[in-house]
Amino acid sequence: MARCGDRIAYLREKRGLTQEELSVKLGISRAALSHYETNRREPDYDTLKNIANFFDISLDYLLGRTNDPQSVLDQEVRDFVDSLELSDDSILDKFALTVDGRKLTVEEAKRFIAFVRAERSLK
């Protein structure tokens, strides 16, 4: 699925807006918008709401939960998606996690998750 920043950039370009124009309309700096669009930073909740309202799309679309800009996931489905824990063996077996087009083995996925946890602990 597309990442939030990719969707923001797509929506902005589709409307024919520059980063400067959109940032003014959203009340954020152009630099912040640039960071969002390149997925270097994630917008806070209020900014996400402002973006969704400006483009008249659902937050579920903006967050990559659905590919339909007007669709909102059922609360039960949303809760399930939000609660997925990738380190759960049953999840790793059920979903094909890939890197460079090749499926990760369960052991590779666990090492990847361990790396992410270690990196987070340094912050």
What is the residue extent of each domain of the chain?
Answer: 4-80, 84-121
Task: Copy the structure tokens of residue 82.
Answer: 């939000």
Among 17, 16, 26, 34, residue whose Cα is nearest residue 50: 26
Whether the model clears a pTM of 0.75, i.e. scores above it, the answer is no
pLDDT over 90 (residue 73)? no
Residue 104 carries which DSSP code? P
CATH 1.10.260.40 corresponds to the domain 4-80: yes
Q: Kindly tell me if the per-residue pLDDT of 25 is higher than 80.
A: yes
Token pair of 34, please? 């640039």
